[in-house]
């Protein structure tokens, strides 16, 4: 039973979340032979002011 946790800076639309889940599930089936019915995908949308890259908050970019 694969469990995949995706963390993104900022928010996504419902359509984007759906597409991400579909594509990850498809990849797990194609590459690892895991049935879609056993693949769990969780998306965590993290506010951009709680992540940084290169010492700068994403909200500053």
The contacts of residue 4 (CB under 8 Å, 6+ apart) are 24, 28, 39, 40, 41, 42
Q: What is the pTM of this model?
A: 0.87
pLDDT in tens, 22-46: 999 999 999 999 999 999 999 999 9
β-strand 52-53 against 56-57: which pairing, if any? antiparallel
pLDDT in tens, 9-24: 999 999 999 999 999 9
Query: Mean pLDDT over residues 40-57, rounded?
Result: 96
CA 24-21-51 angle, to 5 degrees, is: 90
Hey, where are the domains in the chain? 3-60
The superfamily CATH assigns to domain 3-60 is Macrophage Migration Inhibitory Factor (3.30.429.10)
The residues carrying an active-site annotation are 2
């Amino acid at each position: 039973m694969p469990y995949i946790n995706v963390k993104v800076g900022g928010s996504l639309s419902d359509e984007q979340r759906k597409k991400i889940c579909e594509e990850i599930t498809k990849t797990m089936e194609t590459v690892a032979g895991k049935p879609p019915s056993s693949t769990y995908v969780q998306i965590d949308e993290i506010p951009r002011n709680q992540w940084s890259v290169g010492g700068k908050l994403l909200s500053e970019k």
